[in-house]
Each structure stands twice: as structure tokens, then as C-alpha cells.
Amino acid sequence: MSVEAEAQPTQILPGDDPAAIAHAAELLRAGGLVAFPTETVYGLGADALDPLAVQAIFAAKDRPADNPLIVHVADVAAARALAREFPPLAERAAEALWPGPLTIVLRRAAIVPDATTAGHDTVALRVPGHPVALALLAACGRPLAAPSANRSGRPSPTTAQHVLADLGGRVALILDGGPTDHGLESTVLDLSHARPLLLRRGALTHEQLEALLGPIDCIDADAASPPPGEPDPEQEARARALAAARARSPGLRHRHYATRARVELVPEGEGESAAARALAAGERVGLVCRRAVNSPASVRRLPEALEGFAQALFATLRGLDDDQVDRIVVESVPEVGLGATIMDRLRRAAAG
């Protein structure tokens, strides 16, 4: 069954106003949708245990039905209630990192509906580290399914205005918490199998997770070239497991972070020449980089520090789209720590 997204007026209220939180909680308890800030990006929330409410999320976003939602909960106890098992690694991660930008995938409890998990036998859980999100969870007393509050395929929203641009007329209420801290989504860690697996790089880095939990495979690891020498059964088993995980990973199947303008990712230092080529071809060009450049393109110089770069990235891509450039040239960042997450998003954006 599908639910049509119906045109409705969209209200924006300040997220730090208790009356706005109470109103939002009431809407959610009645099966409605509310967009709210988290420390990563804005989410489009609904009661995670109400299949009809959850279907309305998919309709509002035009989200493919096979892509499951993250369930936001108030604390670890609420997370435990939604998982069939809460293994020791999950306990350790939750204890150290929640509230925060980590999503943990576990085997789901029977009360979590198929609509939320897209029929998967697992559920993605996180306790968000944002006062407005936590106040809303406390006030409504329900777990909240919430994907990023963008139209499916678009960059995630980092301000209430981005949500309005994508979902105006499709959501009753947006709680405004200002620009989000991280600007990139949470890290998705699958702990439903014996071997932990990073399904999506995010605001919390692979290195930070490994420091806490030990070695963790990443789904984007280069499985194409087996190491030289004798076949290693352990390596082969790992490559097979990664290939199987990729095949069943819903988040990898769809378009992501797409701007209207074409995104071109170039090595650091080559932004001006790439922009010059496109300008010569008659295109309107935006150039995103971390250094001072001399270019007739619309230059967006982002902070050198990767935290600042990440925080501004999606807003910058959306802003250049609003300025109606044809092409956005982006200079690569070093692929370590948060840089690996940034490069993941940029590659997907460039893939269109």
C-alpha cells in the first residue's frame, strides 16, 4: 500500500521553545511527520512503530521503498527494547558514543514493523546528540524513524531552510535548531553479524571506531585486488563476506547527494584549471576548495580544517545550485579520518 504525499502548509517553529516541542510531540503521536535537527543533519521523523506514519515518510521524500530508516531513541534502554540481541560490542559502542553520530544495526525485535526496516530482519538505531531531538523524543515517548529530511537523492539538509526547500508542503512542522554541528550523516555500523562492518562512513570516523572496538571492515574496502602470494583462506572469506554485505546493503543502491549542477571532483591544486576549461566551454561554474584561488568561477572557499569543511559542504552545494551554476568543481581532500567520509559523499555526488 502506498500513501500519497498531500500538499499542506508547512510551519517552522523554534526548536528551543517548549511549546513547539509539545506541539511537535502531539503531531507525532497522532501519526504525523515532523522534521527536526540532529547533531548531524535534519531528520524527517515519524512514530517508528506506526506503519502508516512511516509510509508517509517514504511518500514525502519520494524514497525508494527498499531503503530502511534509522530509528532514533532517547537512550540505550529504549534501543535495547527494539533489538532482539544487544551484543557486547554494541554495549561498548553505545556506552562510549551515545548520544552521538553513530547508528548501530542489530537484529530487530518483533515490535519493529516491516515498514521501518523495509522488510529487513535488522533495525538501525541511534541516540542523537542534539538537545532538540532529545527533547522531542522525551516529549513524544515513542521511537522516531527519521531519514535525512531531503527529497530522495538530494544532499542532506543542514538547516531548516534546506528542509523547507525540499519538503515544503509535504511536512506539517519543521523544528528549527539552526545549522547542524557535523553537517554530514551518522556513521552506520552493522553489529548484526559476527564481524562488525561499517556500512556507511559518517561523522564519526572509521579510525575513532576502531580505536574503541578493534578492527572493523568497511563496505567500501577495495575487494577487487586480492593481495599477492599464496591464497589466504582468511582473506578470501573476508572478501566473500564483503561482497555478500554489499549485495544486501540497501544504502548503496540509490542515487545520493545529487545537485542539479554536475559535480566534478578534481585533485587538490587542479580546481582553477578545471574551472577554466568549463568556463571556456561556456558553462557557469562554481569552485569549492580549501585554499585561496584566483579564478573567475564562483569560488566557495571552505575551512581548511576537515570539521569545518564537512559542516559547510552540503549547504555550499545547495547554494551553488540555487545560484544556477552548470558545474561544481570540487577539490579533493586527504582521505584520512573525516576526509574519507567527505570523499565518499563527493564521489557519490559526482556520480550524479
Positions that interact with Mg ion (CB under 5 A):
148
φ, ψ (nearest 5 deg) of residue 93: -65, -45
Q: Which residue, judged by CB position, is nearest to Mg ion in the bound state?
A: 148
Say whether residue 69 binds ligand TXA (CB under 6 A): yes
How far apart CA 103 and CA 66 sit, in angstroms, is 18
Concatenated DSSP letters of 36-96 = EE-SSSEEEEEETT-HHHHHHHHHHHT--TTS--EEE-SSHHHHHTTBS---HHHHHHHHH
**Residue from the set 21, 124, 189, 320 that interacts with ligand TXA by CB under 6 A:** 124
**Nearer Cβ to ligand TXA, position 120 or 206?**
120
Least distance CB 68 / ligand TXA (angstroms):
3
Q: How far is 313 from 303, CA to CA, in rounded Å?
A: 10
Q: Cell digits for 295?
A: 579564478
Strand order of the β-sheet with 327-331 is 262-266, 327-331, 285-289, 298-301
First to last CA, the chain: 30
Nearer to ligand TXA, 155 or 286 (CB): 155
Report d(CA 51, CA 113) in Å as an integer.
Answer: 6
Radius of gyration of the chain (CA): 20
**Site stretch for ligand TXA (CB under 6 A), options 37-45, 226-234, 270-278, 283-291:** 37-45
What does 180 bind: ligand TXA, Mg ion, none (CB cut-off 5 to 8 Å by kind)?
A: none
Q: In the complex, what is the shortest distance from the CB of residue 67 to Mg ion, in angstroms, rounded to a whole number? A: 8
> Are the beta carbons of 146 and 54 closer than 8 angstroms?
no
For ligand TXA, the binding residues in 182-201 under the rule CB under 6 A are 185-186, 188, 199-200
Nearer to Mg ion, 67 or 161 (CB): 67
Question: 103-122: which residues touch ligand TXA (CB under 6 A)?
Answer: 103, 105, 117, 120, 122
Residue 43 interacts with ligand TXA (CB under 6 A): yes or no: yes
99 cis-preceded (ω within 30 degrees of 0): yes
Residues in contact with ligand TXA, shown as a per-residue x/- string from 140 to 159 under the rule CB under 6 A: ------xxx-----------
Rounded to the nearest whole angstrom, what is the least distance from the CB of residue 256 to Mg ion in the complex?
7
Residue 126 to residue 124: CA distance in whole angstroms: 7
Q: Measured from the CB of residue 146, what is the shortest distance to ligand TXA in angstroms? A: 5
Q: Which of 281, 341, 283, 278 is nearest to 314 (CA)?
A: 341
Question: Site for ligand TXA (CB under 6 A): which residue of 48, 112, 123, 239?
Answer: 123
State how far the Cα of 313 lies from the Cα of 101, in Å rounded to an integer: 17
Residues 166-185 close enough to bind ligand TXA by CB under 6 A: 185
Does residue 21 touch ligand TXA according to CB under 6 A? no
Find the shortest distance in angstroms from Cβ 294 to ligand TXA: 36
Q: Which helix (H) or strand (E) holds 268?
A: none
- Which one, 203 or 299, has the nearer CB to ligand TXA? 203
| Residues that bind ligand TXA in the complex, under the rule CB under 6 A | 38, 40-41, 43, 67-70, 103, 105, 117, 120, 122-124, 128, 146-148, 185-186, 188, 199-200, 250-251
